[in-house]
Amino acid sequence: MFSRLSRRQRDEFEVQALTQLDALVRSALRICGSREEAEDAVQETYLQAWKYWRSFQQGTNCRAWLFRILFNVIKKKATEKRTFVPIEAPKVENLLHFDRGASVDEFEMLEVFDQLTHEHREVMLLVVVEEMSYKDAAAALGVPMGTVMSRLNRARTELRQRLGHRKPLTKTQSK
């Protein structure tokens, strides 16, 4: 199924791709909502990355390349999910994810974050959480850099509005 890689290529894969595992899992968990789906998506991402490692251009951003694969895998799985609806599908819309170390404010932030559109969650994860540059996030998402900046601005604005953190009125606005 997979083409054989040389020892050097396997070592490069290990150094460049496998070191991104935690970041991919973290992001997949926030997007997918369940640990099982996230782990499946990351596993599929690494299978695809291994399969096409020969086509990866050394010297380019492996992290962005892996995130692009991850997002494509998640989108594909979401499309497949919409086409097949089990008869007794449980509703998990009100399910809260419990994190012992998180404060109430963090829970509120995570709840609001999960309400953002898929595109806004992706860009927030890459730029804010994973600290990617706009250029790298654009490469990972397969969109222009201006789109990343626009989506990030809209996502931040929506987060502020949903959390109720609005700019205070100035004297001219209050009159």
Give the mean model confidence (pLDDT) for residues 105-120: 79
Mean pLDDT of 148-153: 92
Neighbours of 123 (CB within 10 A): 29
Count of helices and strands (H, E) across the chain: 9, 0
d(CA 97, CA 95): 7
In the structure, what pLDDT confidence band is assigned to residue 25 with cuts at 50, 70 and 90? very high
pLDDT attached to residue 173: 44
* 97 has pLDDT over 80: no
User: Is the separation of the CB atoms in 42 and 24 below 8 Å?
Assistant: yes
pLDDT of 39: 92
Separation of first and last alpha carbons in the chain: 71
Q: What is the average pLDDT score of the chain?
A: 78
Domains of the chain (ranges; CATH) run 1-88 (1.10.1740.10), 96-165 (1.10.10.10)
Calculate what percentage of the chain has a pLDDT beyond 70.
76
CB–CB of 64/137 below 8 Å?
yes
Quick check: 148 and 134 in contact, CB under 8 A?
yes
* Section 128-140 average pLDDT: 88
* The residue to which tokens 């890689």 are assigned: 5
DSSP state of 128: I
Give which of 92, 81, 148 is closest to 119, Cα–Cα: 148
**pLDDT > 90? residue 40:** yes
In this prediction, residues 132-160 reach a mean pLDDT of: 90
Report whether 137 contacts 150 (CB < 8 A).
no
pLDDT of residue 82: 58
Model pLDDT for residues 51-96, shown as the tens digit of each residue: 888 888 888 889 999 999 999 898 888 776 655 545 444 444 433 4
pLDDT for the residue numbered 147: 93
